Every structure is written in C-alpha cells, then in structure tokens.
Amino acid sequence: MNVAIVGAAGRMGGRLIQAVLEAEGLELSGAVERPGHPQVGTDAGLLAAAGYIGVPITDNLAATMKNADILIDFTFPDVTLKNLEICAKLGKMVVSGSTGFTPEQKDQVGKYAEQIPVVLAPNMSVGVNACFKLLKEAAKILGDDFDVEIVELHHNKKKDSPSGTAVRMGEVVAETLERDFNQVANYHREGMCGERTKDEIGMQTVRGGDIVGEHTVYFIGMGERIEISHRAMSRDMFARGAVRACQWLQGNKPGLYDMQDVLGLN
Ligand code: NAD
C-alpha cells in the first residue's frame, strides 16, 4: 500500500517517515509540506535521517495523492479539512492525528468520512488508548462520589490547549457518568470562583520545554485518590500507531474510525 505523509517536516513528520519506511506492507510514495516551507524539494529519507530514498517533499497534495492509496496527516484542523476534501475527491483513505478540532470541524470530518475511510485520533499511542478503556472502567466503578480532575503537560511549542487527548479523556469519563462534557468541563479557576461543583471535570494545562506529552486523570474521593497516568517518552509510538491505523484501514468501508476501533477496544 502506497502512503503519503503531510506535515512531513514537522516534529511528527520525521518520525512518521521513519515508521512507514520500517512498516511491513507499506511504501512511502510521497511527502508534502506547506508551500514556501524551506524543506520542499528535500528528500524525505534525508529529512528523517534514514538515508536517500528518492521521495522529494512536494507542496502539492493533490498531485502527490495520485500515486498514494492513503494519506497520513499530522497537521492542524483547518489544513486537515482541506486535505480531507482533496482525498474525498480522489477516493483516498486518510489517517489523521491532528488535534484541536472544534465540534463543528469534527462534524465536517464526519461528512468527508461518508465518502472515504478515515481514522481520526487525538492520540495514536496504544498506551493512551488502553488508558481510555481503564478510565471507562474506573468511572463506572467510582461513579459520582469521586471528583474528576485532568492535568496534562506538553512542550512549549504546542498550539492547542488543552490537548486533544485530555479532552478525549474528559469525554470518556463524562460519557460514562452520563454527563455532557461541554457542560461540565471547567477550564478556568481564578479568584473567588466558588466551591467546586459536584459534576464538573477540571481541565488543567502545563506548557514547557520539550515534554512530549503527559496526562493524569485524578479520581478524588474522601480519604483516597486514584490516578491514571500516561507519560510519552518519545514521538515514535504515535508514529507506530499511525502505521497500525493504515494497515487496519485497508479494506474498510467509508466511515469515521478512531484508535479504539483500530485496536479492537470498542
Ligand atoms: P509541527 O508544527 O512540528 O508540524 C506540523 C507540520 O505541518 C509543519 O511542518 C507545517 O509546516 C506543516 N503544515 C502546516 N500547514 C500545512 C499545509 N497547508 N500543507 C502541508 N503541511 C502543512 O507539529 P507536530 O508536533 O508535528 O504536530 C502536528 C499535529 O499532530 C498537531 O495537531 C499535534 O497536536 C498532533 N499530534 C498528534 C498526535 C497523535 O497521536 N494523534 C501526536 C503528536 C502530535
């Protein structure tokens, strides 16, 4: 299966190029960056420190997708939506790890997924997806007696906040407790903001240095506390997850899937 990568020169791009080159059954057929990016024209293999492979980075996704079966997209929501439009027209599959979608943008992704198979996941790591499952179980057992707070840490270049993973963790807990996440998420406490409400889910963000990504969900009861934490030590496991999603997506019908589907956890 021929794979193209968009966002090729980004922090995830190099890891994705390496992961596709190492993956069984996948060939890297193209790599794309934004027009004007200094790495356009550079060989993708050289960019990923994997040696020359004869795949130059282009700035034209539509032309690059002609030779590809599937697109791996780690960019930003507005870019991803444009990429989905191109892939839907060409009938190509998409695996996107972009984060920061508004509910309206997520709906738009869903519309494109009526035409092509799409995996969209704010976190492609197997460990984080295991955490989603554990959170569901913990929320089921602990119920409304425990206050839920989520803290996430990321590097100082991250653009969206809180992370897509933290939001998904909040959604999983809220859905299990039959709450509407958008109603109960509390992103801000400052000054005389009053006591914590029973249903709220606190969302706290730390930004600094080169932290790849850390998430902790606290279930805080009277006299005891449970913490479910995930710490990412490198970006390679996100890239391996994206490769796994490509291998899984092959042969699937159009639709919107996530890593829980890919890993058989749903
Ligand atoms: P980055 O800024 O290092 O890389 C993004 C790349 O996209 C840049 O090189 C940029 O030039 C390129 N780009 C921007 N506009 C473009 C366009 N129109 N066409 C082609 N390329 C374009 O960011 P990053 O750290 O690599 O993260 C990228 C995205 O992936 C973010 O949304 C991040 O939150 C997400 N992410 C997801 C996971 C996951 O597991 N799902 C893991 C890590 C990061």
pLDDT at 24: 93
Pocket-forming residues, ligand 1, beta carbon under 6 Å: 6-7, 9-13, 32-34, 37, 74-76, 79, 97-100, 121-124, 238
Residue 215 annotated among the catalytic residues of the structure? no
Cα-to-centroid distance, 89 and ligand 1 (Å): 23
67 shares its domain with 141? no
As a whole number, mean pLDDT of residues 161-187 equals 97
Give dist(CA 182, CA 12) in Å, integer: 29
pLDDT tens-place string over residues 26-49: 999 999 999 999 999 999 999 999
Cα separation, 83 vs 226, in Å, equals 41
Instruction: Please name which of 65, 79, 83 lies closest in space to residue 29, comparing C-alpha atoms.
Output: 65
Residues 109 and 10 in one domain: yes
Q: What is the mean pLDDT of residues 156-177?
A: 96
6 shares its domain with 113:
yes
Based on the fold, state whether residues 209 and 241 are members of the same structural domain: no
pLDDT in tens, 111-128: 999 999 999 998 999 999
Residue 84 sits in the same domain as residue 52: yes
The verdict on 15 and 96 lying in the same domain is: yes
Percent of the chain past pLDDT 70, that is, above it, reads: 100
Domain with residue 200: its CATH number is 3.30.360.10
Q: Ligand 1 pocket: which of 59, 64, 75, 210 to mutate (most atoms <8 Å of CB)? A: 75
Q: Domain residues for 90?
A: 2-120+235-262
* Domains of the chain: total: 2
Q: pLDDT at residue 266 above 90?
A: no
CA 22 from chain centre, in angstroms, equals 21
146 and 49 in one domain?
Answer: no
Here the tokens at position 205 are 């963000």
First to last CA, the chain: 26
Closest to 44 in 3D by CA, of 11, 65, 25, 16: 16
Q: Residue 144's CB: how many other CB atoms inside 10 A?
A: 12
Model pLDDT for residues 66-92, shown as the tens digit of each residue: 999 999 999 999 999 999 999 999 999
> Which CATH number is 116's domain given?
3.40.50.720
Instruction: Choose, from 66, 111, 140, 158, the residue flagged as catalytic.
Output: 158
pLDDT of 251: 86
The pLDDT of residue 127: 94
Averaged pLDDT of the chain: 97
Residues 74 and 198 occupy one common structural domain: no
- Both 171 and 207 in a single domain? yes
Work out the percent of the chain whose per-residue pLDDT is above 90: 98
8 & 114 share domain: yes
**Global pTM?**
0.90
In a shared domain, residues 27 and 137: no
Name the least confident of 122-126, 144-148, 212-216. Answer: 122-126
Q: What is the pLDDT of residue 114?
A: 98
State whether 16 and 111 are in the same domain: yes
Please confirm, yes or no, whether 37 is among the known catalytic residues. no
- Asked if the model's pLDDT at residue 94 lies above 90, the reply is yes
